[in-house]
Amino acid sequence: MMKELIITDKQKYLEENYPFEGMPKLTDKLECIHCSSIFTVGDYKVYKDETGFEFICCPNAPECNGTVIDWI
Ligand SMILES: [Zn+2]
């Protein structure tokens, strides 16, 4: 079961956890290829699974199961 984490400093969290080169700005608009929505990066959500792994997720989670790898 995934549990949502409340991130108070979204800039810092993204800097520490963004898995790729070239981290987007919180004000950037990206598209989630899972739900085809355009969202503001700073609206991302974080969910933690039972192993403790934290996923940076689409703002439309949990309805959308897209994560940071699905952002274009
Ligand atoms: Zn999505």
| The residue count for the chain | 72
Kindly give the distance from the C-alpha atom of residue 55 to the centroid of ligand 1, in angstroms, as a whole number.
13
Percent of the chain with pLDDT over 90: 97
User: What are the strands, taking DSSP E only, across 1-61?
Assistant: 3-5, 29-31, 38-40, 45-48, 54-57
Kindly give the distance from the C-alpha atom of residue 31 to the centroid of ligand 1, in angstroms, as a whole number.
8
**Confidence band, pLDDT 50/70/90 cuts, at residue 27:** very high
- Look up the domain containing 54 and give its range: 3-70
pLDDT given for residue 33 in this prediction: 97
CA 25 centroid distance within chain? 12
Give the chain's domain count.
1
Rg (CA), the chain: 11
pLDDT given for residue 1 in this prediction: 77
pLDDT given for residue 7 in this prediction: 97
Say if residue 22's pLDDT is above 80: yes
pLDDT given for residue 23 in this prediction: 97
Averaged pLDDT for residues 23-51: 97
